[in-house]
Chain A
Amino acid sequence: MNTSIIAAGKDLQWKDSLTTESSLVRRLLIAAAFLYLTLFLFVPLVAIFSEALKHGLSGYIESFFNEDALAAIRLTLLVAAVAVPLNAVFGVAAAWAIAKFEFVGKQALITLIDMPLAVSPVIAGLIYVLLFGAQGWLGTWLAEHDIKIIFALPGIVLATIFVTVPFVARELIPLMQSQGREEEEAAITLGASGWQMFRRVTLPNIKWSLLYGVILCNARAMGEFGAVSVVSGHIRGLTNTMPLHVEILYNEYNAVSAFAVASLLTLLAIVTLSAKVLIERKTASPDRLKSRR
């Protein structure tokens, strides 16, 4: 019996060495990965919080309780509150159309959805300045009708929507494609209306991916700098979002306040990532969780 155990052990070792690198190489690779991440991600993260708390907790809290900072936070939340639901609705609609129907221009639609990921955000902002700016195509008409888009809230919302378009749709398309149409067809043959089918069959099947897409979309909407910077005009208390406010404070050598506001955005990122991990766990083993319920 002993010999068989030894033989099995040897067997295992032998297989191990065949399919993986030697332990030295493995350890080196893991160490390199950790070192890299520590240097480029963890240290800056710690730096943000240590700089923000340099003058103690009171200095940290004070950074938020001034008009400009509160206005920036309010504006960021407002922009996200408009852009995220719009992109969620558009993302579901686009993913549904792409995954479940055949139509002319489908490939073009997929490419268009991906475009914001390929285009630099600054360009995205510039597009809107070119369109709606004082010297832009529609500039005169807008000025005549007293509609302000550039250097105002609408411009910021538009630029944010542009850069966050892909997140929900891209999350849903592969899932909906793999799920196919049969369940929806079954619902229809059982007498469900289009809306009943969507609410009771389509939506429950995609809810976790949808939530994941919305979380990513929200993180990007709140954190967007480049596109918003071009269209905002940096008017304090009016068109400054949180990322822009951080830049202004930093340029004024107000490091503590800059890092304090930055830490708020960082916290948002951490919450987003935690939510993502939770959702991933849920989607990875739906059956196990369901049976536990």
Chain B
Amino acid sequence: MSIQVEHVTKRFGTFTVLDDVTLRVEAGELVALLGPSGCGKTTLLRILAGLERPDQGRIFLHGAEVTDQRITERRVGFVFQHYALFRHMTVAENVAFGLTVQPRAQRPSATRIQEKVRELLTLVQLQAMADRYPSQLSGGQRQRVALARALAVEPKLLLLDEPFGALDAKVRKELRRWLRRLHDELHITGILVTHDQEEALEAADRVVVMHQGHVEQIGTPDDVYEHPASPFVYQFLGDVNVFHGRTVQERTLADIPPLPEVDSVVSADVMDEHEVTFVRPHDLEVNRSRTNPSQLEATVRYVLTAGSRVRLELTAEDSGQTIEVELTKERYRELNLREGEVVFVHPRHRQVFKIPQS
């Protein structure tokens, strides 16, 4: 089922949570709404489900407008961050709930419901837990029950509100891979709300990055990671070093270092724009000696060797700015760096955003 969101605005009191959001999700896609807390992603999800009503704008599901349709008529499955399992019902009763509340005419027979519950519990690998109560399950198991419960009514659309947010890192990783496989099997249109960029990039077909009620960028995970459309997206998707400077009119030098001081030295002829340069920590080249005049001189403050890569924290010699660098273990061994030593840094890739001077 395709989803079309047109110019949706939502305010809580004087606070604008969603500001003119327009968005399209194709049938069968799994789309992630990604953004920091308070960016409006959960509100958008609740509006799609019918749990909230937009102040302005329209919602279409599969081409038909549902803006004023009641939640029960929309046939959406909703999975809550804190599971929202019925605590006084067993796992099987929880999964069966959506079927047992159907009008008598549409309701499947008791044996058919039982069968269906068994199928769903097999799908989420919890057959053995059918008679347990939610409080006897782990967080990951509970969320799988919640998913089975949502799937029981065969929704056309599955909405997941930070479904793995309350789980520990390892379970989270397992579950999001499992969710991706499940989605590939069922071909159900899905929207996943998350503030975890790794989760969004790994699980979703497309990522919608949101910030302060606006959509900042929509694209495939590769797109948004490799070609961030705005400084916010760049900063939100992974670690980044930010260098401030002003735009130089003639950008003939291909390798202007990301340093304001050097920039202004190259040419005094500057435009009236603020320039921000973004460099990912792994895109910084570190050398022991100066090989290029535009390299930036910095002192090694800390070396963190735990993990698959080595992280360095440097202090720029002239500006005092802290710079984060990520090196492979091999490169680190080659350089044989100690804390307190002086190195020369140079970006392999960088992205420059121009921000009009306020």
A residues adjacent to B (C-beta < 8 A): 182-183, 185-193, 196, 200-201, 204-205, 286-287, 290-291
A189 engages B97 (CB within 8 Å): no
Which size class do B's interface residues fall under? 20 to 34
Between A188, A190, A200, A205, the greatest number of chain B beta carbons within 10 A of the residue's beta carbon is seen for A190
**Neighbour of A201 across the interface among B86, B136, B153, CB < 8 A:** B86
Q: Which residues of chain A are within 8 angstroms of B98 by Cβ–Cβ distance?
A: 190-192
Q: Which residues of chain B are within 8 angstroms of A287 by Cβ–Cβ distance?
A: 133, 135-136
A185 engages B84 (CB within 8 Å): yes
* A/B interface sample: 14 pairs, CB < 8 A: A182-B80, A183-B86, A186-B85, A186-B146, A188-B71, A188-B72, A189-B49, A189-B77, A191-B98, A191-B101, A193-B101, A204-B88, A287-B133, A287-B136
| Minimum Cβ distance to chain B for residue A77 (Å) | 32
* Distance A252 CA – B78 CA, assembled complex (angstroms): 69
Q: Does B296 contact A (CB under 8 A)?
A: no
* Distance A188 CA – B149 CA, assembled complex (angstroms): 13
| Minimum Cβ distance to chain A for residue B160 (Å) | 12
B residues adjacent to A (C-beta < 8 A): 49-51, 71-72, 76-78, 80, 82, 84-88, 97-98, 101-102, 133, 135-136, 146, 149-150, 152-153
| Minimum Cβ distance to chain B for residue A226 (Å) | 40
Given A193-B101, A205-B87, 4 other A-B contacts at CB below 8 A? A183-B85, A185-B51, A189-B76, A192-B98
Q: Which residues of chain B are within 8 angstroms of A193 by Cβ–Cβ distance?
A: 72, 101
A291 engages B84 (CB within 8 Å): no
| Minimum Cβ distance to chain A for residue B297 (Å) | 55
B76 engages A190 (CB within 8 Å): no
| Minimum Cβ distance to chain A for residue B347 (Å) | 47
**Neighbour of B97 across the interface among A182, A187, A290, A291, CB < 8 A:** A187
A186 engages B72 (CB within 8 Å): no
Instruction: Specify the chain B residue showing the minimal Cβ separation from A188.
Output: B71
A290 engages B149 (CB within 8 Å): no
| Minimum Cβ distance to chain B for residue A204 (Å) | 4
**Neighbour of A190 across the interface among B50, B88, B101, B135, CB < 8 A:** B101
A190 engages B82 (CB within 8 Å): no
* Distance A205 CA – B84 CA, assembled complex (angstroms): 12
* Distance A78 CA – B78 CA, assembled complex (angstroms): 47
**Neighbour of A185 across the interface among B80, B85, B97, CB < 8 A:** B80
Q: Which residues of chain A are within 8 angstroms of B153 by Cβ–Cβ distance?
A: 190-191
Contacts A182-B80, A186-B80 known; A192 to B87 CB distance under 8 Å?
A: no
B133 engages A189 (CB within 8 Å): no
| Minimum Cβ distance to chain A for residue B12 (Å) | 10
Q: Which residues of chain B are within 8 angstroms of A183 by Cβ–Cβ distance?
A: 84-87
Q: Which residues of chain A are within 8 angstroms of B87 by Cβ–Cβ distance?
A: 183, 205
Instruction: Specify the chain B residue showing the minimal Cβ separation from A204.
Output: B88
| Minimum Cβ distance to chain B for residue A279 (Å) | 15
* Distance A141 CA – B168 CA, assembled complex (angstroms): 70
Instruction: Specify the chain A residue showing the minimal Cβ separation from B72.
Output: A191
B84 engages A182 (CB within 8 Å): yes
Between B51, B88, B152, the greatest number of chain A beta carbons within 10 A of the residue's beta carbon is seen for B88
| Minimum Cβ distance to chain A for residue B133 (Å) | 5
| Minimum Cβ distance to chain B for residue A292 (Å) | 12
* Distance A260 CA – B34 CA, assembled complex (angstroms): 72
| Minimum Cβ distance to chain A for residue B50 (Å) | 8
Q: Which 10 A-B pairs have the closest CB atoms?
A: A190-B98, A182-B84, A189-B78, A186-B84, A192-B101, A204-B88, A287-B135, A196-B101, A191-B72, A183-B84
* Distance A153 CA – B247 CA, assembled complex (angstroms): 88
Instruction: Specify the chain B residue showing the minimal Cβ separation from A189.
Output: B78
* Distance A192 CA – B136 CA, assembled complex (angstroms): 25
Q: Which residues of chain A are within 8 angstroms of B101 by Cβ–Cβ distance?
A: 187, 190-193, 196, 200
Q: Which residues of chain A are within 8 angstroms of B150 by Cβ–Cβ distance?
A: 189-190
* Distance A188 CA – B77 CA, assembled complex (angstroms): 10
B135 engages A189 (CB within 8 Å): no
| Minimum Cβ distance to chain B for residue A185 (Å) | 6
* Distance A186 CA – B152 CA, assembled complex (angstroms): 13
| Minimum Cβ distance to chain B for residue A208 (Å) | 10
Q: Which residues of chain B are within 8 angstroms of A190 by Cβ–Cβ distance?
A: 97-98, 101, 149-150, 152-153
Instruction: Specify the chain B residue showing the minimal Cβ separation from A205.
Output: B88
* Distance A201 CA – B97 CA, assembled complex (angstroms): 10
Q: Which residues of chain B are within 8 angstroms of A200 by Cβ–Cβ distance?
A: 86, 97, 101
| Minimum Cβ distance to chain B for residue A183 (Å) | 5
* Distance A204 CA – B133 CA, assembled complex (angstroms): 14
| Minimum Cβ distance to chain B for residue A196 (Å) | 5
Instruction: Specify the chain B residue showing the minimal Cβ separation from A185.
Output: B51
* Distance A260 CA – B51 CA, assembled complex (angstroms): 58
B133 engages A290 (CB within 8 Å): yes
Instruction: Specify the chain B residue showing the minimal Cβ separation from A287.
Output: B135
* Distance A89 CA – B136 CA, assembled complex (angstroms): 33
**Neighbour of B86 across the interface among A187, A188, A290, A291, CB < 8 A:** A187
